[in-house]
Amino acid sequence: QVQLVDSGGGLVPAGGSLRLSCAASGPTVSTYTVGWFRQAPGKEREFVAGIRRGTPTTRYADSVKGRFTISRDNAANTVYLQMNSLKVEDTAVYSCAADNSWVLTTAPGNYNYWGQGTQVTVSS
């Protein structure tokens, strides 16, 4: 099984950028479909971005299209989430998740392995 460690969160002003990392140990990350999710206080967990196992097909939530980019570095066994033009509404705990499925799904219940989460706070 894979173990995931999230990092890279912090406090940034609106319009700024952050890069989140999801480092995997165990099997190579390229054999897992990986998604980034976020959860703000009082809100449900929502899908942000995902990258498919094998061929690097990606998909994004409408709210982050054009601002966020998900990528995979197989040599580093790490998935990244580059976040640009951050908004106050992006404030949340961000978690990466992985599953062996070949299907890139937005449903958190379809992911079996989760990182611990990293806090992103965007100030006005």
User: In the predicted model, what is the mean pLDDT of the chain?
Assistant: 95
Dihedral sign for Cα 30, 20, 40, 60, please.
Answer: negative
Q: What does the pLDDT read at residue 61?
A: 98
Strand partners for 48: none
Strand partners for 118: 94
> Residue 107 has what DSSP assignment?
-
Q: Is the pLDDT of residue 13 over 90?
A: yes
7 closest CA partner among 124, 113, 118: 118
Q: What does the pLDDT read at residue 54?
A: 87
Q: What does the pLDDT read at residue 56?
A: 86
The pLDDT tens digits for 24-76 are 998 888 899 999 999 999 999 999 999 999 888 999 999 999 999 999 999 99
Cβ 93 vs Cβ 118: under 8 Å = yes
Q: What does the pLDDT read at residue 86?
A: 98
